[in-house]
Chain A
Amino acid sequence: MSGRRSVLVWRLVILVTILAAWEWLTGVKAISRTPGLYWIDPFFISRPSAIAARFVFLASDQVRLSIWQMALSTVQSTLWGFLAGVSSGFVAGLVLGRHDRLARIFEPYIVAFNSLPRIALVPLITMVFGFGILAKVVLAWTIVFFIVFFNTFQGARSVDADLIHSARFLGAGERQIMRTVIIPSALAWTFAALTPSISFALIGVVVGEFLGGESGGGLGYLIIQSLGTLNAADMMVALVALGVIGIVMALGIKHVERRLLRWRPEYREHA
């Protein structure tokens, strides 16, 4: 218990130290009275106090698109892309994982498409799906699909054959084997892909928002807009917001994972 508390204390100490150093170093002049010459120039990385002030401003209704609306847009695109990618990747992984022939036929296409850098697709996806939220969802989907697909595929292939045999001896039909043996067994692999998937979904969405323009909004749009106005404080607000979103989503997934995989020894003590 005390060990846990001291970890927390240390984390807090580090956070406060960094913030204090940041605030101080961007406020102290390197050469006295010469304007603009700070130890570290706040023009590039802003200052915690300035960022907080901008956050309050961006969160107010004085702006056309508040930070909340932008964050909501980013979260929505990420979650939809994630859900679409996970469900389609899971089904495709199961089907190809259990059908060798199909897997052999599709293999070159899957490998080719997966090796394509997804960022290269952003202009095309924007052209096809427009500047709205849909283009971001599609982009996130193309990334998440493959992560989940490959893991589930591997999981579906490595199902213990003796478990399948024993199910068959207990009277299981093919569908029952799918439901009671292959899916639960592959799920453990699928879950391992979820945490990276949500991070990559977020990456896809933000990249989409860089190009996607104003109508979709989103934190990526705020970042690009801040670049246009050379506003480091706004950029930092967007980055911190993205960090918080990323952490919350990853924790949410860990929580679900822990519940559904509570049969595994490594999750037992936390149940």
Chain B
Amino acid sequence: MLGGLVTPSAGTVEIDGARVLGAAPANVGYVFQKDTVFPWRTVARNIALGLEYRGVTGGEQARRVREAIALAGLDGFEDAFPATLSGGMRQRVALMRTLVVDPQILLMDEPFGALDTHTKINLHAELLDLWGARRQTVVFVSHDLSEAITLADRVVVMTRRPGRIKMVHHVKLPRPRDVIKLRETDEYAREYSRVWHVLGEEFAERGA
């Protein structure tokens, strides 16, 4: 709904007072759960896509792409085709491709869902760094509670079908966060168990 892919059955969605109509509002970046890197474009040309669409060309485009590649630690892979990259690297390309055009709001729909834990945690750290520099609004959909608590200021728990908001939990962990050490702290454990308790009710009610 936020991305305009689905129209709400009632009510409206507004971003900074502007109603979301149709797909893909400007200033909203979307990182899909699925790998949506264009396989026929190299890493650099994938990251350049958004700039190309917006008419940013030549030196300016090259500079911003170079920056993004450096930021994502993809140096040396500029001219590689996605088929030669790992899933984690491809998702990093997708993330940088979205960030390079500087969206105000970043929607992420289980972007790391298909990755192994190790890669996932590295990407969490990177995402927190990137976010620390730009501070855009991020709406992050996840099925992984530790991921949610590690990254978020607010965790919104949704019920099962129909998806309604069950709980809004403010995560009171200080920033900047260290994704590894954070998980060893008591505060983290407390936040985790509080949300887990509510999530557990949801399982119990509808499961069985």
Contacts and interface: CB of A to CB of B under 8 A. Distances in A.
Interface of A: 160, 162-163, 165-173, 176, 180-181, 184-185, 188, 261-265, 268
A166 B39 contact: no
A170 B24 CA distance: 8
Given A163-B36, A170-B97, A171-B101, A180 B30 contact: no
B30 A166 contact: yes
A165 B38 contact: no
A165 B39 contact: no
For the complex of A and B, 9 pairs with smallest distance between CB atoms: A170-B50, A168-B24, A166-B36, A171-B53, A169-B30, A263-B81, A265-B83, A263-B40, A184-B40
Contacts of B30: 165-166, 169
Contacts of A265: 83-84
B49 A170 contact: yes
The SS class assigned to the B binding surface is loop
A191 B30 CA distance: 32
B32 A166 contact: yes
Contacts of A261: 40
Contacts of B98: 169-170
Given A170-B98, A181-B38, A165 B23 contact: yes
Contacts of B81: 262-263, 268
B67 to A, nearest CB: 17
B172 interface: no
B34 interface: yes
Contacts of B83: 263-265, 268
Contact of B24 (A162, A165, A184): A165
A169 B39 contact: no
The residue among A162, A165, A265 with the most chain B CB atoms within 10 A of its own CB is A165
Nearest to B38: A163
Interface majority SS (helix, strand, loop, mixed), chain A: helix
Interface in B73-93: 81-84
Contact of B38 (A171, A180, A262): A180
A262 B79 CA distance: 12
Contacts of B42: 263
Interface of B: 3, 5, 23-24, 26, 28-30, 32, 34, 36, 38-42, 49-50, 52-54, 81-84, 94, 97-98, 101
A119 to B, nearest CB: 38
Contacts of A264: 39, 83
A163 B97 CA distance: 13
A166 B39 CA distance: 13
A171 B28 CA distance: 9
A160 B28 CA distance: 21
B76 to A, nearest CB: 17
Contacts of B53: 167, 170-173, 176, 180
Given A263-B83, A265-B83, A169 B28 contact: yes
A107 to B, nearest CB: 29
A40 B97 CA distance: 70
Contacts of A185: 40
Given A166-B36, A180-B38, 16 more contacts: A165-B36, A166-B32, A167-B53, A168-B23, A169-B28, A169-B98, A171-B26, A171-B53, A172-B53, A176-B52, A184-B40, A185-B40, A263-B40, A263-B42, A263-B81, A263-B82
A169 B3 contact: yes
A184 B81 CA distance: 14
Nearest to A188: B40
B20 to A, nearest CB: 12
Most chain A CB atoms below 10 A, which of B40, B81, B98: B40
A165 B5 contact: yes
A181 B53 CA distance: 12
A169 B83 CA distance: 23
Contacts of A176: 52-53
Contact of B29 (A163, A169, A184): A169
